[in-house]
Amino acid sequence: MAITFIFILILARIFYVQVAWGKELVYRATDQWNREIPVIARRGIISDRNGEVLAGNLTTYSVFVRPNAVREVEYTATILSGLFSVDPQMLLEKLKSKVSEVTVARQVGREQIEKLITYDLSGVYYSRDNTRSYAFNDALCQVLGFTSNDGSGLSGIEKFYNNVLGGKNGEITYTTDIVGIETENSVVVYNEAKPGDEIRLTIDIDIQLAAEQAMKRVYTTSGAKAVSCVVLNPKNFEILSLVNYPSYNLNEVPRDDTETLNALSRNGIVSDIYEPGSTFKVMTAAANIEEYLNGNSKAFSNSYVFNGSRTRVVDGIKIKCWSDHSNGKHSNQTLANALNNSCNPCFTDIALSLGTETFYKYLQAFGFGNVTGLDFTGEALGMLVPQTAVRDCDLARIGFGQTVAVTGIQLACAVASAVNGGNYYVPRLLKSIVSADGKTVSENKTVFRNKPISEKASALLREMLEGVVSEGSGKHAYIEGYKVGGKTGTAQKYEDGHVAQGKYVSSFTGFFPATDPQYLALIIVDEPQGVYYGSTVAAPVAKEIFENIIKIKNIERYE
């Protein structure tokens, strides 16, 4: 009986080893008698909308050692440390260890590999890898992002679309003896790497470089803390240009200074919030016009005359205009005049008259308090006081761009939808994905989100905003022979809940042609020194960018 039991146990063990454990044992045996050299997939390029390469690759190599296959350890360590600037003692310790593989160096040039080959070192191997190369150095640095030393995306588009760009690595497999030395009749098997796909962006590099130049100039001349800009197509919300300055050279990433790198690589247009000030009046005007057209008796007609020359007290808080009214322009004015003069009390009147429920309906429709859905990591929500917590004094201030915080991309998209006929789309940076052999894998189509206002309301608003540039506060963005619309903004900054004396955010959002917008730009200048009004600091920058677009695209005069 005992013998039968033991016999059954032996049979069960044999069955387990051969069947249940068989695959793992085969794998272990294969792994013991085979070695692999990785074949790194070529990373997909990143290009602009016209196929201009923005991020490409330089052919470099990785060098590694199989310690078990090294015949002369000290000699090998000495040669490798000299060729690749590696600490010789540390490398020697690794070669004497029991690890299966040691990486000696990554991203080394062909000349170093050619020298390595002359030594014919046993157990030393190399394979091709990729070193990322950026064609325009610091241009688009916060958008493109950068990769790690092993080629994986760490920030920006490189990170967001890493799975598309990365491809699939291959390997070269060959047979070895028990200590890892290649056998005389080694069988070599080559598994080809699959290169990554190309990411083609909506960015137009010519417009981008023009915007970069303009933003660097205002950064220098204004003494600002930082400047940023986004240019998009109001027809579909494709991002044509996105600038944040100061910036850094993508080919010389300051990896050893984490604090500096984090600051310079942050895409402020997408990730930072600020109080917009008077540019937000575009949204208040849009809500009022739409409500008036819909027959809301609490909305003001376009011919209604506001009295802006007053201080209004709401919930015990004084709310007044930025102007001292010495010129008399703010005494009696229509909505168009109020936009021209950027008169705060008029927009306070509108917000309070429409009421919280109605006004918030438009704020939410225009995307405030939510992300736009841009294909980029780290997009901020902005800051919108919860509707249930809004007091009249809050509502009054929101009407002219205070007590609300937005991201640059939020505001640009909101204004674009207000002037393009009332259509809000999901903004995007990806235009298409193209395979390594040049075939289009997919097109990133326009996605319609909602319609905050009607075409008629949008047309009326465009006409008013054209007046702001032709005869109002935005006159420094005026271009002879071209219809430009826009709105200026100058907002005080707050620190620890109090107004920060002498610190402002100057901005301008503009578009052209005003009758049928094709281009929209938002300019933000953070803490300019000296003159700080958006009309004199930011509006001229938009003019410069628009004039460059006119030249680049050879756009004819409209008058």
Decide if 242 is inside a domain: yes
Q: What three-state secondary structure class fits 529?
A: coil
Q: What three-state secondary structure class fits 288?
A: helix
Per-residue burial over 162-196, b if 16 or more Cβ lie within 10 Å, else e, is bebbbbeebbbbebbeeebbbeeeeeeeeeebebb
Q: What three-state secondary structure class fits 251?
A: helix
| CA distances (Å), origin 224, targets 83, 179, 276, 413, 544 | 46, 64, 17, 25, 18
Same domain as 168, residue 212: no
* H-helix segments, 61-137: 73-84, 88-95, 110-119
Residue with tokens 């949204």: 283
Q: Which residues of the chain have pLDDT under 70?
A: 1-37, 172, 174-190, 308-310, 322-331, 559
Same domain as 453, residue 532: yes
Task: Identify the H or E element spanning 517.
Answer: none
Same domain as 161, residue 125: yes
Decide if 2 is inside a domain: no
> So what's the pLDDT on residue 400?
95
Same domain as 546, residue 487: yes
Handedness of CA 14, 20, 24, 29 (dihedral sign): positive
> So what's the pLDDT on residue 3?
65
d(CA 202, CA 182): 50
Direct distance between the N- and C-terminal alpha carbons of the chain, in angstroms, rounded to an integer: 109
Domain around 322? 205-553
Same domain as 236, residue 155: no
- Residue 443 sits at φ, ψ, to 5 deg, of -110, 135
| Closest to 70 (Cα-Cα) out of 110, 98, 30, 28 | 98
Q: At what angle do helices 455-471 and 281-293 cross, to 10 degrees?
A: 140
Decide if 24 is inside a domain: no
d(CA 238, CA 251): 27
Q: Which of 62, 241, 247, 278 is catalytic?
A: 278
> So what's the pLDDT on residue 99?
80
Same domain as 351, residue 278: yes
Contacts of residue 554, defined as CB under 8 A and 6 or more positions apart, other chains included, come to none
Same domain as 230, residue 188: no
Contacts of residue 342, defined as CB under 8 A and 6 or more positions apart, other chains included, come to 278, 281, 322, 472, 473, 487, 488
CATH number of the domain that residue 93 is part of = 3.90.1310.10
- Domain termination site, one of 201, 220, 246: 201
- Domain termination site, one of 176, 201, 226: 201
Same domain as 361, residue 267: yes
Same domain as 485, residue 337: yes
User: And the tokens for 33?
Assistant: 């008698």
- Domain termination site, one of 201, 226, 254: 201
> So what's the pLDDT on residue 192?
79
Q: For the chain, what is the domain count?
A: 2
Decide if 25 is inside a domain: no
Decide if 16 is inside a domain: no
Decide if 30 is inside a domain: no
d(CA 149, CA 40): 13
Same domain as 194, residue 241: no
CA 38 to chain centre: 32
CA 83 to chain centre: 39
> So what's the pLDDT on residue 460?
98
> So what's the pLDDT on residue 534?
95
Same domain as 426, residue 297: yes
d(CA 403, CA 385): 8
d(CA 559, CA 550): 14
CATH number of the domain that residue 309 is part of = 3.40.710.10
| Closest to 56 (Cα-Cα) out of 193, 296, 251 | 251
Decide if 11 is inside a domain: no
Give yes or no for a cis peptide into 513 (omega within 30° of 0). yes
Same domain as 335, residue 269: yes
Structural contact between residues 231 and 261, judged by C-beta atoms closer than 8 angstroms: no
d(CA 52, CA 56): 10
**100 catalytic per annotation:** no
